[in-house]
Structure formats: C-alpha cells, structure tokens
Amino acid sequence: MNYWPLLGIAVVVVGFVLRFNPVLVVVVAGLTSGLLAGIALPDLLALLGTSFVENRTLLMFLLTLPVIGLLEHYGLRERAREWIVSFRGLNLSRFQIAYLAMRQLSSMMGLTHVAGPAQTVRPLVAPMSEAAAERTLGPLTDSEREQVRASAAATDNIGLFFGEDVFVAIGAVLLIQGFYARNGIELEPIAIALWALPTAIAAFVIHAIRLRLLQRRLERERARTAPESTDASG
C-alpha cells in the first residue's frame, strides 16, 4: 500500500495551524495527495473541477452564512422591521400569506435556493413577521414571539415543499418518473408536474387559512389577557 498520499492530511493540519487561507490549504492538500498517488496533473485538475461543480450548492450555502451574518451585524433585521412598519394595514397573516405565494411561485420556476431558513427566514421573514404582528398586538411576549417565528419557518417550508414539484426538472419529479418507468409505466415530467399543481394550490389555501386562524388566536389571547393585566394593575 502506498502511504505517501496521506501527506495531504499533514498539509491540512499544518495549514490550519499556521492559519493559512482554508481554500488554498485544501487545494494544495488535494494536489499533494493526488500527485503522490500517481495521478497525472491534467486528470487531477479535471477531478478538482468536477468536484467543485458537483458540490457548488454546498459551497454557495457556506458562502451565504458569512454574508448573512455580516448583514445582520450592520442592522439588517432592524431595517427589515422598520420597513414592514411603514406599510399600513399589514398584519401577520397578510404578510406571511404574501411570502407563501412568493416562495411557492419561485419554487415552481425552479428557484428553490433563492430563499430558505438561512437566506431569508432568520434575517428577514422572522423579524418582518414580528413587526407585522406587533402592529395589531403590541409588544409580543416570549411565547407569542416564538409562535410567530415558528410560523415564518413553516411558511417557508410549505411554500418550497409543495411548489418545487410543479417544476419539471426538480429531483422529486425525475424520481417519480424513474419509479414508474421501472414498473413499465411511461410518464412525461410535464404530466407529473401538472398533477402536482392542484396539490400546490390546495396547500396554499389550507396554509393561508391556518395563518388567518393564527392571527385570530393571537388576537383573542391578547384580548383575554388584557383585562387580567388591567385588574392586576388596578
């Protein structure tokens, strides 16, 4: 067995200890292990390029987190709240229904990665939802704030889950097509996507009703606790 390719691990350890650029360290480690394993340089570069293309979604996610953190550090959440407060007549249910429609429509067009828990829910949708709820409820309690945040995350998830199957090139549609093909049933991806459309519409209507019910429940709970707090202060 050739143990020389294991020197790539040593390159990683030394590079991180000396605090060199992580991307540079990983690339040098890969080249070191590949060359010591007897792989030709052109084939090794082709392998690195293929690996980069196949994992570009993960790399985009990893690059998103520092950007979002930097924006939050400079007041992204506060600016989002102030922007929502400027809209008259906007409450929690109306805002989240609008976001549900946007998320579902973008997923239907294959834009599944333009939003998500890290990209939009935490830095934008959650604080905007809190600001919209405070327009009708006033300052939120800890319990109410957690319910609003959970609703924001659920709205994003439902919009993505029931919207992406309408896009013909999504993995789920191709998986369904492959399953039927193995059992002797030939279906076109467009047919599968069209059959997913009624489910997406039903999911939108049902979750919109749930959001309206959440709005009313929060308002009823606030109205019930208001007299109690008044009696206690009196």
Q: Are 186 and 63 in contact (CB under 8 A)?
A: no
Closest to 124 in 3D by CA, of 67, 83, 77: 77
- C-alpha span between 17 and 178 (Å, rounded): 48
Whether the predicted pLDDT of 233 surpasses 60 = no
- C-alpha span between 52 and 62 (Å, rounded): 13
Q: Are 156 and 99 in contact (CB under 8 A)?
A: yes
Q: What is the end-to-end Cα distance of the chain in Å, rounded? A: 84
Q: Domain limits of the chain?
A: 4-54, 65-233
CB neighbour list of residue 181: distance below 8 Å, 6 or more residues apart: 187
- Among 64-68, 72-76, 169-173, 220-224, the range with the most confident prediction by mean pLDDT is 220-224
Give percent of the chain above pLDDT 70: 85
Could you read off the pLDDT of 44-55 as tens digits, one per residue? 788 777 766 565
Residue 150 — very low, low, confident or very high, per pLDDT cuts 50/70/90?
very high
Which range is least confidently modeled, 63-67, 85-89, 175-179?
Answer: 63-67
Could you read off the pLDDT of 56-76 as tens digits, one per residue? 555 555 556 666 666 666 677
- C-alpha span between 24 and 21 (Å, rounded): 5
pLDDT value at position 60?
56
Task: For tokens 């076109």, name the residue.
Answer: 188
pLDDT value at position 177?
83
Which range is least confidently modeled, 130-139, 185-194, 201-210?
Answer: 185-194
Residue 143 — very low, low, confident or very high, per pLDDT cuts 50/70/90?
very high
Closest to 188 in 3D by CA, of 161, 168, 202, 214: 168
The pTM assigned to this predicted structure is 0.68
Where is pLDDT greater, at 109 or 59? 109
Which pair of structure tokens corresponds to residue 188?
């076109």
Average per-residue pLDDT for the chain:
83
If you average pLDDT over residues 12-25, what whole number do you get?
A: 81
Give percent of the chain above pLDDT 90: 32
- C-alpha span between 170 and 193 (Å, rounded): 9
Whether the predicted pLDDT of 215 surpasses 90 = yes
If you average pLDDT over residues 195-206, what whole number do you get?
A: 94
Q: Are 192 and 180 in contact (CB under 8 A)?
A: no
